[in-house]
């Protein structure tokens, strides 16, 4: 069984890596002006969607081949990976199946709320999804092997500026203030 799990983890990790490389290439081509709408958005969302399942399977395989006390952290990684999968899959499928076709058909006005634009709901879905992705990687791969007595001392970086609309400023301890 361990050999099978190792193979699933290996091939899933390789698939997730390949999809990530494809995503990076698409981003580079978009920034370089080689890809234009709607092909750039289609390829960005499609390659991002291709990362999801292999990554979750990779984390699951890692959990099953990990022994002892370290399994708590890999279990946490599987949970974070699963939550990541829900957020980003919902976002990418909506963008690919609803928003992009409606935009191409000039019928997007009624569904503008579904567009992923800076500080929109789906922008935030993507942001929290990738924060969970990083949490899964950190908890599943790095944290179990760090020589720390108290893992609860590890805290996330503040994402206030990423999530906050440009009209407000998030200041720790003071709440939201208009800019």
Given pLDDT bands bounded at 50, 70 and 90, which one contains residue 101? very high
Given pLDDT bands bounded at 50, 70 and 90, which one contains residue 1? confident
Q: How far apart are CA 91 and CA 49, in angstroms?
A: 9
Burial of 1 (0-12, 13-18, 19+ CB in 10 A): exposed
Query: What are residue 168's DSSP bridge partners?
Result: 178
Q: Would you state the structure tokens that stand for residue 141, as one six-digit string?
A: 């791969």
Q: pLDDT at position 143, please?
A: 67
> Which residue ranges make up each domain of the chain?
2-147+154-178
Residue 147 or residue 4, greater confidence:
4
Give 81-149 as a DSSP string: HHHHHHHHHHHHHHIIIIIHHHHHTT--GGGGGGS--TTSHHHHHHHHHHHHHHHHHIIIIIGGGS--S
Query: What's the mean pLDDT when you consider all of the chain?
Result: 83
> What would the pLDDT profile of 38-57 be if each residue is shown by its tens digit?
999 999 999 999 999 999 99
Q: pLDDT at position 146, please?
A: 59
pLDDT surpassing 90 at residue 33: yes
Percent of the chain with pLDDT over 90: 66
In eight-state DSSP terms, residue 179 is: -
In eight-state DSSP terms, residue 25 is: H
> What would the pLDDT profile of 116-146 be if each residue is shown by its tens digit?
999 899 999 999 998 899 888 887 777 666 5
Q: pLDDT at position 69, please?
A: 83
Q: pLDDT at position 79, please?
A: 95
């Amino acid at each position: 069984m361990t050999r099978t799990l190792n193979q699933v983890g290996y091939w899933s990790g390789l698939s997730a890596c390949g999809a990530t490389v494809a995503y990076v290439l698409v981003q580079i081509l978009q920034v370089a002006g080689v890809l234009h709408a709607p092909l750039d958005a289609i390829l960005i969302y499609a390659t991002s969607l291709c990362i999801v399942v292999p990554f979750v399977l990779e984390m699951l395989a890692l959990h099953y081949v990990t022994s002892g006390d370290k399994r708590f952290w890999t279990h946490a990684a599987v949970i974070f990976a699963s939550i990541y999968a829900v957020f980003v899959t919902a976002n990418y499928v909506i963008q690919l199946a609803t928003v992009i076709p409606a935009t191409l058909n000039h019928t997007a006005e009624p569904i503008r709320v579904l567009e992923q634009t800076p500080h929109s709901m789906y922008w935030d879905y993507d942001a929290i999804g990738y924060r969970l992705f990083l949490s899964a990687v950190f908890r599943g791969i790095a944290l179990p092997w760090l020589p720390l007595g108290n893992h609860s001392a590890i805290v996330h970086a503040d994402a206030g500026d990423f999530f906050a609309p440009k009209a407000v400023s998030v200041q720790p301890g003071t709440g939201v203030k208009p800019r």
